[in-house]
Chain A
Amino acid sequence: MASIQIDDKSIDFQPGQSIIQAASNAGVYIPHLCYHPEFTAHGSCRVCMVEVNGRQVSACTTEAQDGMQISHMSDDLQQTRKQVLEMLFAEGNHVCPSCEKSGACTLQSVAEYCGMLTAEFTFQYPQREIDASHEDFILDKNRCINCELCVRASRDIDGKSVFAIAGRGGQAQLIVNAVDGQLGSTDFSVQDRAASVCPVGSILPKHYGFVTPIGQRSFDLKPIEQQQVSGHEG
């Protein structure tokens, strides 16, 4: 069977698998945000960087090749990941202490895993909309990290294409498929896969909050490196 070497560990893989899929199957956690095993690889967050032949590549978009030597936990890579995460924190409005998603937030958990203490880049404090028009959900764009998981879930699984990214560069942001721009005017519903896929607190259910106390939430109970490997991905 074909195998790759990640740091000191030899890992078998099926032809066609990406590095992150192979690693995940073997229980090796590579930090990631926009990758999700249910959806096609995206490659946009740039957190899952690993080093192959002296070059940094994203593990989600790079196919595993027999004999590949992959460096994963080097200081350089952790530094790279930390800087990318710092950029995401500086770009949006992420106020963990007041966020319902805290403790169950992939962005937060990945950043903690990567040892990020703070974002030293200049905070942008963008003006972004909170859309509470939907009966069952709040769409808080302050926390959106443009991972497009909801875009993919709604398009590929729900067959609805409720979400999309509009604009360019720093203006690129999540929109919904409605002329008035309101989530309440779309056919988005509780049953949608897109309703439960958001890794941050952008798509939040209404009517209840803080039911699970801080300290007993998903990543408090089971660390991300155990949750986000094969078979455990939420």
Chain B
Amino acid sequence: MKGKIKIATTSLAGCFGCHMSILDIDERLIDLVDIVEFNRSPLTDIKHASQCDIGIIEGAVANSENVEVLREFRRECKTLVAIGACALNGGVPAMRNHYSLTECIKESYLDGIGLDNPMVPNDPDLPKLLDKVHPVQEVVKIDYFLPGCPPPADMIWKMLTDLLAGREPVFTPQQIYYD
């Protein structure tokens, strides 16, 4: 295993769609496993990233746990790649930024239609919601960005192979999608 490139991946406030797109690189994953080792990732169940070469972040920053995980990734990964609309610009989670957090919580837990036993959850183990949802680059420095909802598998593949080969990833307009 020695000498393999260590990669960690995580989803913050996201839908794991970008991870599905990572899986969509299909049989090329097999080539990848020869040269990389997955650290913290939904694929491995490792709980904390540690001394990785590449970190891949999906999802926006919506709560205190997202901030912690993102900071851990920044600390532990030499290169940090943000993938997907939510990570890059807040995406769907950031649509709550048009309302105050108070409005959101009240609507979700107290005043919404059809609520049984309305109450605001207050278990201390729950991550605390941020007043606004942020793109990841507003919390830590990000080295590379991959847009898309999700980014196409080919784009992820190109990014990874470029980085693994020590090349600066460059995309043609035809490879770039925001949707």
Within 8 Å by CB, do A and B touch in the complex? yes
Cβ-defined partner of B173 (8 Å) among A102, A112, A119, A125:
A112
Interface size class of B (residues with CB under 8 A): 20 to 34
Which chain A residue shows the least CB distance to B82?
Answer: A118
A120 B178 Cβ-Cβ under 8 A: no
Known: A115-B173, A214-B179, A223-B174. A98 touches B92 (CB 8 A): yes
B26 at the interface (CB under 8 A from A): no
Out of A103, A114, A123, which one reaches B89, CB within 8 Å?
A: A123
Q: Which applies to chain A's interface (DSSP): helix, strand, loop or mixed?
A: loop
Cβ of B75 under 8 Å from chain A: no
Is A39 interfacial (CB-CB < 8 Å)? no
For residue A145, give the distance in angstroms from its CB to the closest CB of chain B: 15
Report Cα–Cα, A152/B179, bound state, in Å: 29
Within the complex, what minimum Cβ distance (angstroms) separates A215 from chain B?
A: 9
> Are A95's CB and B91's CB within 8 A?
yes
- Which of B132, B173, B174 has most A Cβ within 10 Å? B173
Residues on B with C-beta less than 8 A from A125 are 90, 94, 97-98, 132
Q: How many whole Å from B100's CB to the nearest CB in chain A?
A: 10
Chain B at the A interface: SS class: mixed
Closest to B90 in A: A123
Which listed segment binds A: B34-42, B44-52, B107-115, B141-149? B141-149
0/1 interface trace, chain A 98-118, chain B, CB 8 Å (1 if under) = 110011000010011111111
**Is A115 a contact of B179 with CB atoms below 8 Å?**
no
Provide the bound-state CA to CA distance between A95 and B88, in Å: 11
Q: Verify A89–B173 contact, CB threshold 8 A.
A: no
- Across the interface, do B174 and A89 meet the contact criterion of CB distance under 8 Å? no
Interface presence of A122 (CB below 8 A): yes
Contact of A95 among B92, B132, B137, B173 (CB under 8 A): B92
Picked from A97, A102, A113, A115, the residue with its CB within 8 Å of the CB of B91 is A97
Residues of chain A at the chain B interface (Cβ within 8 Å):
89, 93-99, 102-103, 108, 111-120, 122-123, 125, 127, 214, 223
B interface residues with partner A (beta carbon < 8 Å): 82, 85, 88-92, 94-95, 97-98, 132, 134-135, 137-138, 144-147, 149, 171, 173-174, 176-179
For the complex of A and B, list the 10 residue pairs with the smallest distance between their C-beta atoms, beginning with the closest. Answer: A97-B149, A96-B178, A118-B145, A102-B179, A125-B97, A118-B88, A96-B179, A112-B176, A117-B145, A113-B173
